[in-house]
Homo-oligomer: A and B are copies of this chain.
Amino acid sequence: MKYCSQCGESVEQRIPEGDNRERHVCPACGTIHYHNPRVIAGCLPVYGDRVLLCRRAIEPRLGYWTLPAGFMENGESTEDAARRETREEACTEVDIVSLYTLTSIIHVNQVQLIYLAQMPEKRFGPSEESLEVRLFREDEIPWDNLAFETIRQVLTLYFQDRKHQQFPLRHMEIDRNAFHSARVHL
């Protein structure tokens, strides 16, 4: 941020009174501009013994496989966002079962929420955001061609948990390439 979005003047970086962090502050109109993490919401869509993955049509990681997920928008709930992203990226409607993973992706200022979801129908397809959309059995997952480490982690946990048919919330943190924890919250 270089300019104040309220008045157009150049902003400066300083710690506002009563705060303890540097912020972008406008010396002209006094506006303090906060920058906060964004929420990524998505689904792990399940159809029978298969899960739905999308091959990305956009950067970053164009051509790699991922779960349908994206930035939550203003004016919607986290579940709305997860369903919308699944609709936009995989052209499918899902029934959300439960929140399955919450991952703080610290180095990129994101909080990723992945919902476990059931596909009532085997109806899906590519979109402007996905070159290809496919159902995969566990032994078909393209582990070497997944778009993101967080997605690899979610899928790994899912196939472990599926053996016991219990899907407790998995609470994780990732900072650069290291997962700090995969703590289970019950």
A positions within 8 Å CB-CB of B: 1-11, 18, 21, 33-39, 71-80, 98-99, 102, 104, 106, 109, 111, 128, 168-169, 171, 173, 185-186
Q: Let me know if A72 and B128 touch, CB within 8 A.
A: no
Indicate whether A5 sits within 8 Å of B7 (C-beta atoms), given known contacts A104-B78, A173-B77. no
Residue of B nearest to A71 (CB): B36
Name the distance in Å between A35's Cβ and chain B's nearest Cβ: 6
- When distances are taken between beta carbons in the complex, the residues of chain B under 8 Å from A173 are 77, 79
- For A111, give its contact among B3, B7, B72 (CB under 8 Å): B72
- For A3, give its contact among B5, B80, B185, B186 (CB under 8 Å): B5
A8 to B4, CA, bound (A): 7
